[in-house]
Amino acid sequence: GVCKANLDVSIKAYKNPPETIAPPHSSIYPRD
């Protein structure tokens, strides 16, 4: 659900620098 997704993003935000999590869409949908 959305809650789980938000939690995952929060964990990534905590582990990664602000610049990495600045674009939320990039974290959820990586553009490699």
Report the pLDDT value the prediction gives residue 9, as an integer from 0 to 100.
Answer: 79
Tally of domains within the chain: 1
Alpha-carbon distance of 2 to 32, in angstroms, equals 23
Model pLDDT for residues 1-32, shown as the tens digit of each residue = 677 877 887 777 676 665 555 556 555 556 65
> By residue range, what is the domain housing residue 25?
1-32
Contact 9, 24 (CB under 8 A): yes
| pLDDT at position 7 | 81
* pTM tops 0.85, yes or no: no
Count of beta carbons in the 10 Å neighbourhood of residue 24: 13
Query: Residue 23 gets which letter from DSSP?
Result: S
